[in-house]
Amino acid sequence: MKAVLIRNFGEPEEMYLGEHPKPTIASDEVLVKVKATALNRADTLQRRGKYPPPPGASSILGLEMSGVIEALGAEVTDWKIGDQVCGLLAGGGYAEYVTIHSQCLIAVPEGWSFEKAAAIPEVFLTAFQALNYLAKIKKGERILIHAGASGVGTAAIQLAKSFGASQIIVTASAGKHKLCKQLGADIAIDYRTQNFEEEVLQVTDNQGVDVIIDFLAAPYFQKNINSLATDGRMVMLALMGGFQVENLVLAKILIKRLHIMGSTLRARSLEYKINLTRDLMEFAMPRFESGELQPVIDSVFDWTEVVAAHQYMEANKNKGKIILKVS
Ligand SMILES: NC(=O)c1ccc[n+]([C@@H]2O[C@H](COP(=O)([O-])OP(=O)(O)OC[C@H]3O[C@@H](n4cnc5c(N)ncnc54)[C@H](OP(=O)(O)O)[C@@H]3O)[C@@H](O)[C@H]2O)c1
């Protein structure tokens, strides 16, 4: 089959469309002919050799896909050949074919394109896990979502609204504020020119927020702690700003009884991913169909333009997902 391969770890130009053996299915898996995949930051790290795939996963890039079922494992009874599906992968999405456990599949919502469906799995599963499983957000709570216009951020804003958050605050560069507000953010802070801690305390009458979804880590850690309300929860999903903090004042973690959590979805067990997929779909599928929840697609590249797509992401130009059309 055709797949995006890497000559040597490094710059986007190291990727090329080449030949790779077609994967074979286990009895509980299906073979999907891929129609679209989507970029994730993890792909750019893996391309640089800084994020190896977990044991047993494909070495090909790509953490999600949409496509058509072409073959079923012997034990698979809940899907049929020809079904249109999408799903989260531990790797292998930048290819003509992937295998995936049948219970990790999501049906493509009625009337949706493959490009749109490929934008669901990674960001909605990640945001749902962070808000529901980890932060356990409740109706009426206030939330701060960093990188609000990132793929995960755009899903988190919409889910927070669906969960009944009373105030949704985001940080993003100024050109991305309009999108964040269209999705449901009440307040957008330009972290480049404003101090988000001061802004959060001002708009919450010095109460702080109940939940923070963070991707920046080190440079935001102290300010995040200062921005949380009593019994606040912070979920750290990435280390985009760095992982080492100096001169940290910890007192507020105790005084405010804070919960600081971290997670990576890719390393979770198969059982966890199956349960998460089921729980997200139960909550989100009717909302996808009604239009309450929508993946935000920034751009669609043909997979022959994968180099340009990675360059675009690494320049932080995207608002929402970058899709690769696989043909
Ligand atoms: N833990 C998990 O399970 C999990 C799952 C999925 C993704 N992630 C991680 O979550 C992060 C967001 O993923 P995504 O795919 O949603 O990202 P994305 O769509 O590429 O968006 C990232 C955005 O973050 C903002 N940003 C702010 N400070 C930044 C900095 N120092 N460096 C780079 N970007 C910065 C940029 O927007 P502005 O212009 O507004 O600054 C950028 O466009 C990534 O690090 C990804 O690896 C984690």
pLDDT at 116: 98
pLDDT for res 124:
98
Cβ-based burial of 269 (10 A; exposed 0-12, middle 13-18, buried ≥19): exposed
228-236/321-325 β-pairing: unpaired
Q: What are phi and psi of 31, to 5 degrees?
A: -100, 125
Strand partners, 321: 297
Distance of CA 153 from the midpoint of ligand 1 (Å): 8
Distance between CA 48 and CA 26 in Å, rounded?
A: 30
Over residues 265-300, the pLDDT tens digits come to 988 999 999 999 999 999 999 999 999 999 999 999
- The reported pLDDT for the residue numbered 267 is 86
Q: Domains for the chain: give ranges and CATH numbers.
A: 2-120+295-325 (3.90.180.10), 123-262 (3.40.50.720)
- Contact (CB, 8 A) for 223 and 250: no
- Secondary structure (3-state) at 293: coil
Determine whether the shortest distance from the Cβ of 151 to ligand 1 is under 6 A: yes
Q: Which atom of ligand 1 is nearest to the CA of 321?
A: 19
Q: How far apart are CA 283 and CA 267, in angstroms?
A: 23
Nearby residues of 2 by Cβ (< 8 Å), 6 or more positions away: 17, 18, 19, 20, 95, 96
- Residue 244 tokens, joined: 């080492």
Q: Read off the tokens for 319.
A: 């608002």
Helix (H) or strand (E) holding 226: helix 218-227
Calculate how far, in angstroms, residue 161's C-alpha sits from the geometric centre of ligand 1.
20
Six-digit token pair at 215?
A: 């991707």
Give all strands of the β-sheet with 209-214 in edge-to-edge order: 187-189, 167-171, 142-145, 209-214, 228-236, 259-262
- Model pLDDT, residue 320: 87
Predicted confidence at residue 247, as pLDDT, reads: 92
Closest ligand 1 atom, CA of 192? 41
Which helix (H) or strand (E) is 157 found in, with range?
A: helix 151-162
Ligand 1 centroid – CA 191 distance (Å): 14
Give the ligand 1 atom nearest the CA of 41: 47
The first and second tokens of residue 31, run together, are 């073979």
Q: What is the pLDDT of residue 202?
A: 98
Question: What residues in the chain have per-residue pLDDT under 70?
Answer: none
State whether the beta carbon of 195 lies less than 6 angstroms from ligand 1.
no
Q: Are strands 228-236 and 2-6 parallel, antiparallel or unpaired?
A: unpaired
In tens, the pLDDT along 219-233 reads: 999 999 999 999 999
> Which residue out of 180, 215, 314 has the highest number of ligand 1 atoms within 8 Å of its CB and is therefore the one to mutate?
215
The residue whose two tokens read 């456990």 is 101
The pLDDT value recorded for residue 307 is 98
